[in-house]
Amino acid sequence: MLEAIEGSQAIARAVAMCRPDVVAAYPITPQTHIVEALSRLVAEGEMHTEFVSVESEFSAASVVLGAAATGARAYTATASQGVLLMAEVLFNISGMRVPLVMTVANRAVSAPLSIWNDHSDSMAVRDCGWIQLHCADNQEAVDTTIQAFRISQETELPVMVCMDGFVLTHTLEPIEMPDQTDIDGWLPPLEFDRRLDPSDPKSLGTLVSPDFFAEVRHSHHAAMIRALDVIETVDDDWHAMTGRRGGGLVEVAGDPEAKIGILAMGSTFGTLETGMEHAGAQAGRARLIKLRAFRPFPAAALRAACAGLEHLIVIDRAISPGLGGVVGTEVAAVLAGAPDAPRIHNHALGLGGRDIPETIYADLMTAVADPDGPAFSVFDADLTKLDPEDR
Amino acid sequence: MVILTRGAYARPGTSLDFKTGNWRSGEAPVHVHATAPCAASCPAGEDQQAWFARLQEGDAEGAWREVVRANPLPAVTGRVCPHPCETACNRAALDAPLAIHNVERWLGDEAIRQGWTYPVSAPAADAPEVAIVGAGPAGLSAAYHCVRQGLRAAIYEAAPEAGGLLRAAIPQTRLPRDVLDAEIARLLDLPGITLNLRARLGRDVTLDELERDHAAVLLAPGCQANKAWSIDGAVPVDLHEGLNLLKEFVDHGQLPEARRVIVHGGGNTAMDLCRAMKRAGAEQVTLVSASGLPGPETDPSDVINVVPRELEEALEEGIEILDHTTINRLILRGSRVTGVEVMSLRKLRGEDGRAHRVGFEGTERVLPVDMVIPCIGEEVAPEGLGALIDHGYLRPRDPAGRLTQERVFALGDARGDHGTVAAAIGDGLRAVRALVAELEGAPASPDGDRVGIAPDQLNLSYYDHSARVAAPKLRVEARTFETEIEGDIGRAAAMAEAQRCLSCGNCLACDNCWTFCPDNAVIKTVELARDGSHYLFDLDYCKGCGLCAQECPTGYIRMQS
Amino acid sequence: MAEHDPRGERLDELRRKFGREPLPPGADQKELTPREAQPRFRGLESGHRACQGCGEALAARLVTECAGPDVMIANATGCLEVFTTAWPQSSWRVPWMHSLFENAGAIASGMEAAMKAKGKNTKVLAFGGDGGTYDIGFQALSGMLERYHNVLYVCYDNEAYMNTGIQRSSSTPHAATTTTSPAGKERMGKRHLKKDLLAIVAAHHIPYAAAASVAYPADLQRKVRYAMGIEGPTFLVIHSPCPLGWRHDSALTIEVARRGVECGLFPLVEIERGAVTNVMPIRKVRPVTDYLELQGRFSHLMTPDDARAEEERAHLQALADHNIQTFGLRGDTPDAGDTQASSSVGRGGHPAGRV
């Protein structure tokens, strides 16, 4: 049954359905509504979990790590500065191969201070060893959140579910909320064999010498690569139960025969879809590629999705100053060497909450036609606002 | 091949695979059973620390059995010994030495009350028999140790009763007869001992006969002859010699009458006599002694040779003591003494490097007296011993007491090198031990380390302050010729006093090493470890930090390469 | 000290509680080695890589052996973590996790929340050094205390960052030298005071916060047992000399710690709900120089005829006197809990340890 529900409330209810033992979080815009909603569910007795209101994101991540290490199902959520404050713990969690789920309500990173949406936060921790899934809309966010618990359990890797701050978290959309009994059947109890347990007392978080460190990192990488299959299988399984897909690794929409493709992560994908519908024939139809799994990076699926393209516009919602777009660079790397690799047009846009209008579609399609167009630009930057020296 | 665990977790306790003992560059801890100073200084050869350990465990009979390994007469020594053990006791560095003497006495009395018997079995009927001359403390001890060692003993005693000096010359106020009788009877009841009374050497039996008929001869005749005493050749006509006087008093309770008495000497006989004379009615009794009273003024080697407790009691009773003083001249009216001239003197090191007593001109003074009693010591009565006597004594050529003749030993006061009951008892032990080794053709077992562990080798932080027990004592007015002056401390006080023992040099099983080892390299054992402790050092993990040795209260652990 | 029963009913009970099968009969028939037969729980096993005479290793062993085995530990980064768990080996026989330097309080909070969620009463311990507690982990500790997690936090205080090579922390005492507070022409070691962490912790109004010393193991273990019995946050700071960092002989770890208490610089106090409820009286107060003279980190204070050294010594003496006065540490009459009675031993053990 469809309900009109705010993204944050929907996430909170999805998390509750997964019956986590421990939730720890620290408020930060635009994640706040999720934490508040969870607190309310606990307060009303609708959710039986140890809700730990910590004194920082650093502790939020630490608390869920401590809890998960004992074999408890644990969850946290944050955004922006919170992600960065957690950074040290994020590496720690994945390095110990502890299953855990976290929602990131994507937001820009200060300075200058901005409370609005872009992907600077999750990009900043792209190498922290977590699975990172980006959701295009709130239905996908709900489905992905639930799937994330299962992916995490099966892979013994932590999963970061990214959803755009405000754009999704604070937006009312009609959502099909799953049934609790379905979830109870679909999501098996967490069996973490390496859990802290007085009857079989293991030591976690040891010091590893150079003789074994490379092997630790290799095995982590190998686990991430194997997780590609798990993400797809779990999505298939979800589809079998709900009839919906969470988005797999990569999803393709628009014109499959188009020679121009546009790749995006998160809610921008929806804007592009609508923009294409509304732009009319003059702008032309593109192949729209939605990258859901940013980590592990689905190289093969991307190559397949991009087959036959001459131009690929890659949209980044963050910037790596001095390089350009991270997604653009990575996609280019994956496609490089293929005989028919498309030309990559990498644009950062919508930084720090800059509105991404539907018309962006037509503008991108126009720009791609320019043979002298830059390999990378901050597409929606108005340089006239800058002192000439700073342009 | 080590296989990486997921997330690099480790299994419990696996660090045991890592032998940190390899880090130990220098020293490792070892258990060293050092001699406690009490034991090191005990002339009787007791290990007080060992029997205090039994008492600390609440086992009084076990403690007594430890005592009688060396000393068969603890109720006696617990009364008459000058207890060098207490002087040596390391507890003095903390508060006050243990009242070892009083606890020993309680143990001895308790054994009599409870009828405890020596843990000794009868020697074989054909076991070698040893002849023992004298049934004083040395002879009795020798007989006892013979039996302990599986030998038989035949004692030849000139007097009609066994006991020697204990019976003849120690007043009842210090050693009640029932106590003495009980301990001697228990000893003489041992199988394998025959006692021949009224058997005087040289009259009833000869040394040659004894040598011929026995596996060995142990001579413990004591010192029965007074040393000749005169002042520049003057001897009062009514001279009473100290030991004889005391023996008469002890035997018949009679003392000559006198108003002002001077006793000349510095030993326990002199002191006993002073007190007896005072109690018998003398107005003024003065001890004139060349040695000094204990104190900072007196060199420890020149202290008056009296049990400290006896000295204290004598002063309580009004005995005057002129220390560092000698008699210069007797003032006689006719042949009766009316006064003495005394003079101060000191023991000083002369040009030859040896100590000499030097009198100081100008310190002479005259004391009016009507009796002078010399108590300057005794020597061996020569009867039957003839050529063995060397300058008054049977001077042995080794600590076991061997004389120049084969298998003839000298014990006790007759040796001339020491003069206490405890030493006499110890002589019995040492002589028999040496004799047995000789009979078995084994090398003489070396005498143990006679140097006691010093207080700076202990860790005194671990001992709480605890007051020394005070023995009850008769008030001066209540003291008589018959009643023992010092009383019994009782079981509770004895047990409490035992808890004060520091256990110097021996494991207390206090767990400090086990508790403080940062490396778990000290293993506690349920049964006693081979070295008598309760702990093992696991050198696989000992890094040699030395904490256990540093924090061992008793100095039982040492770091050694 | 509870008798450890390595293969008995307690283990079966624990295994059942954590969803594991009890060991099959016969699995407990093997002959125990003397090490296995120790009459105490070996929570921190031999083979760890601590330096000779390490006070922290000793303190952690004392805590673990009387807290275990039904515990789990969150351990901050530091010497203790490094020397106990060099993969593939671990010295621990209790579930143990090291995450980061500054989050032991939060990791422990999470463990405790999980135990609560699962209805288990396994006690959670958090271990940290002074760096991980007084400094970088201070916030996580405060959060843990404020949220009233049922955790015993133990700070092994060796008064500097020893793991990184002896740098000053906020716990380093005034005038002590470290590699970042060296003594020189212009400076006499650390310029600032040792942080009064116990007071700050106690200000959280928690049920129990106490100071202990490795020199008084029976007192230390009594405090651990007391804290273990409390449902709620408890805190124990343990003075743990570091022979390497304090520059004293490895055999003197206990002696140094003892003098630290006896001079008044490290008062052993117990605070319940913000109120001082017990102190260890000092039977015989020693001058601080007795404490300083054993340690190289204070050697610059012992230079004769140096006015600056004299002033710093006087300063430290004044700090000790201040502690003695503030907490009434002078024990004029013998007391069963004073410095002397707390360390006295008898045949068969420590009288206080057998209470």
Please tell me the total count of domains within chain A. 2
Whether residue C86 and residue A53 make contact (CB cut-off 8 A), yes or no, is no
pLDDT surpasses 70 at A255: yes
* Count of other CB atoms within 10 angstroms of residue B277: 24
The residue ranges of DSSP E strands in chain A, in sequence order, are: 2-6, 22-25, 50-53, 74-78, 101-106, 131-134, 159-164, 172-176, 203-204, 250-254, 260-264, 287-291, 293-295, 311-316, 343-348, 376-378
DSSP characters over B429-484: HHHHHHHHHHHTTPPPPPPP--SPPPGGGS-GGG----PPP---B--GGG--SSS-
Tokens of residue C123, six digits: 């006690």
Put simply, the answer to whether A63 touches C98 (Cβ < 8 Å) is no
Q: Could you tell me if A195 lies within 8 Å of chain B, comparing CB atoms?
A: no
Chain C nearest CA to A64, separation (Å): 6
CA distance C57 to C44: 8
Instruction: List the subunits that have 3+ CB pairs under 8 angstroms with A.
Output: B, C
Residue of C nearest to A72 (CA): C114
Q: B199-238 burial string, b = 16+ CB within 10 Å, else e?
A: bbbeeebebeebbeebbbbbbbbbbbebeebebeeebbee
Residues 148-167 of A with CB under 8 A from B: 156
In a shared domain, residues A156 and A21: yes
CB C240 within 8 A of CB C56: yes
pLDDT of residue B448: 56
Say if C276 falls within a structural domain: yes
pLDDT, position C355: 35
8 Å CB contact of B8 and A202: no
Domain hosting A56: range is 2-177+186-191+207-242
Cα A80 to Cα A28: distance, rounded to the nearest angstrom: 8
Positive or negative, the CA dihedral A190, A195, A198, A201 is positive
In a domain, residue A257? The reply is yes
Long-range contacts (CB closer than 8 Å, 24 or more residues apart) made by A233-239: A234/A147, A234/A150, A234/A151, A234/A154, A235/A147, A237/A150, A237/A186, A238/A143, A238/A146, A238/A147, A238/A186
Question: What is the nearest CA distance from B539 to chain A, expressed in angstroms?
Answer: 26
pLDDT tens track, chain B, 561 positions: 899 999 999 999 999 999 999 999 889 999 999 999 999 999 999 999 999 999 999 999 999 999 999 999 999 999 999 899 999 999 999 999 999 999 999 999 999 999 999 999 999 999 999 999 999 999 999 999 999 999 999 999 999 999 999 998 898 999 999 999 999 999 999 999 999 999 999 899 999 999 999 999 999 999 888 888 777 777 777 777 888 888 888 888 888 888 999 999 888 888 989 998 998 889 999 999 999 988 888 887 888 888 888 888 999 999 999 999 999 888 888 878 899 999 999 888 888 888 888 889 889 999 999 899 988 888 888 888 888 888 889 999 898 999 988 899 999 999 988 889 999 999 999 999 999 999 988 876 666 557 899 999 999 999 998 999 999 999 988 888 889 999 999 999 999 999 999 999 999 999 999 999 999 999 998 777 777 788 999 999 999 999 999 999 999 999 998
Which residues touch C57 (CB under 8 Å, ≥6 apart)? B518, B519, C44, C48, C50, C80, C83
**Res C27: pLDDT:** 64
**Rounded Cα gap, residues A194 and A71, in angstroms:** 8
- pLDDT exceeds 90 at position A43: yes
Clarify whether residues A218 and A313 are in a common domain. Answer: no
Q: Does A97 touch chain B (CB under 8 A)?
A: yes
pLDDT at residue B481, as a whole number: 85
Tell whether C1 is covered by a domain: no
Q: What is the CATH number of the domain that holds A14?
A: 3.40.50.970
CB contact under 8 A, B512 and C87: no
- The third-level CATH classification (topology) of the domain covering B12-33+507-560 is Alpha-Beta Plaits (3.30.70)
Nearest to B42 by CA among B83, B7, B77, B6: B83
Distance separating alpha carbons of residues A81 and A104, to the nearest angstrom: 11
Radius of gyration for the alpha carbons in chain C, expressed in angstroms and rounded: 21
Distance from C348 to chain B by nearest Cα, in Å?
5
Supply A136's token pair: 């295009």
Cβ(B156)–Cβ(B196) below 8 Å: yes
Domain ranges of chain B: 12-33+507-560, 41-118+468-496, 129-225+379-439, 229-376
Is residue A199 domain-resident?
Answer: no
Contact B79, B56 (CB under 8 A): no
The secondary structure of residue B506, as a DSSP letter, is S
Residue in chain B nearest A93 by alpha carbon: B7
C328, part of any domain: yes
Give CATH for domain B129-225+379-439.
3.50.50.60
pLDDT digits (tens, 9 = 90+) for A98-128: 999 999 999 999 999 999 999 999 999 999 9
The reported pLDDT for the residue numbered C346 is 87
Nearest to C96 among A71, A203, A212 (CB): A203
Complex ipTM more than 0.90, yes or no: yes
Q: Point out the least confidently predicted range of A30-34, A55-59, B300-304, C102-106.
A: B300-304
The nearest CA of chain A is from the CA of C330 a distance in Å of: 40
Q: Give the domain extent around C141.
A: 52-342
CATH of the domain at A329: 3.40.50.920
Tokens linked to A93: 């969690």
Among C55, C19, C54, C60, CA closest to C41: C60
Chain A residues close to C75, C-beta within 8 Å: 205
Q: Are residues A85 and A230 in the same domain?
A: yes
Q: How far is CA A5 from CA A138, A169, A174, A182, A271, in A?
A: 9, 10, 6, 20, 20
Look at B12 and C255 and tell me if their CB atoms are within 8 Å. Answer: no
Give the closest-approach CA distance of A20 to chain C in angstroms. Answer: 9
Nearest-angstrom CA–CA distance, A296 and A223: 9
For A203, which residue in chain C has the nearest alpha carbon? Answer: C96
Q: Is the CB of residue B340 less than 8 Å from the CB of residue B368?
A: no
> CATH no. for residue C139?
3.40.50.970
Contact flag B8-A216 (C-beta cutoff 8 Å)? yes
Say if residue A37 is in the same domain as residue A88.
yes
Query: Among B2, B3, B9, which would you mutate to test the A interface (most chain A Cβ atoms within 10 Å of its Cβ)?
Result: B9
Closest CA to A325 of A258, A362, A378: A378
Q: Are A122 and A162 in contact (CB under 8 A)?
A: yes
Residue C1 has pLDDT above 50, yes or no: no
Mean pLDDT of C41-47: 95
- Are A156 and A28 part of one and the same domain? yes
Q: Is the pLDDT of residue C179 over 80?
A: yes
Q: How many CB atoms lie within 10 A of CB B458?
A: 24
Q: What's the token pair of residue B530? A: 């081979």
pLDDT digits (tens, 9 = 90+) for A158-204: 999 999 999 999 999 999 999 999 999 999 999 999 999 999 999 99
What is the pLDDT at residue B306? 85
Q: Which residue has the tokens 């939605």?
A: A290
Q: How far is B99 from chain C (nearest CA, A)?
A: 18
CB C158 within 8 A of CB C130: yes
**C-alpha to C-alpha distances, A371 to A222, A286, A311, A367, C331, nearest whole angstrom:** 40, 18, 11, 9, 91
C131 DSSP 8-state letter: I
Residues C339 and C334: their CA atoms lie apart, in Å, by 9
Pairwise CA distance, residues A208 & A2, whole Å: 51
A209 confidence band (pLDDT: 50, 70, 90): very high
pLDDT at residue C22, as a whole number: 72
Q: How far off is chain B from C254, nearest CA to CA, in Å?
A: 8
**How far apart, in whole angstroms, are the C-alpha atoms of residue A263 and residue A327?**
9
CATH fold label, B229-376: FAD/NAD(P)-binding domain (3.50.50)
In a domain, C84, yes or no: yes
pLDDT at C26: 65
Closest residue in chain C to residue A74, using alpha carbons only: C114
- Quick one: closest CA in A to B9, which residue? A204
Identify whether A370 is part of a domain: yes
Mean pLDDT of chain C: 93
Amino acid in the structure at residue B179: V
Question: Chains touching chain C at 3 or more Cβ pairs under 8 angstroms?
Answer: A, B
CA A9 to CA B424: how far, in whole Å?
Answer: 101
Cβ contacts of C95 on chain A, cutoff 8 Å? 70, 196-198, 201-203
Whether A203 contacts chain B with CB within 8 A: yes
Does the residue C231 lie in any domain? Answer: yes
CATH number of B41-118+468-496: 1.10.1060.10
Report in angstroms the alpha-carbon separations of B323 from A102, B310, B360, C231: 96, 16, 14, 74
Q: Collapsing DSSP states into helix, strand and coil, what is residue C132?
A: helix
| Cross-strand pairs, C314 | none
Q: Does B11 touch chain A (CB under 8 A)?
A: yes
Q: Hey, are the CB atoms on B7 and A97 less than 8 Å from each other?
A: yes
Q: Using the predicted structure, report yes or no on whether residue C265 has a pLDDT greater than 50.
A: yes
Terminal alpha carbon distance of chain C: 10
Q: Quick one: tokens of C324?
A: 């003695």
CA B546/CA B242 separation, integer angstroms: 58
Tell me the C-alpha distance between B549 and B547, whole Å. Answer: 5
Is A215 an interface residue toward C (CB < 8 Å)?
no
Whether A165 and A106 map to the same domain: the answer is yes
The confidence score (pLDDT) of residue B228 equals: 80
Q: Is C228 on the interface with A (CB under 8 A)?
A: no
10 Å Cβ neighbour count for C197?
22
pLDDT(A358) > 90 = yes
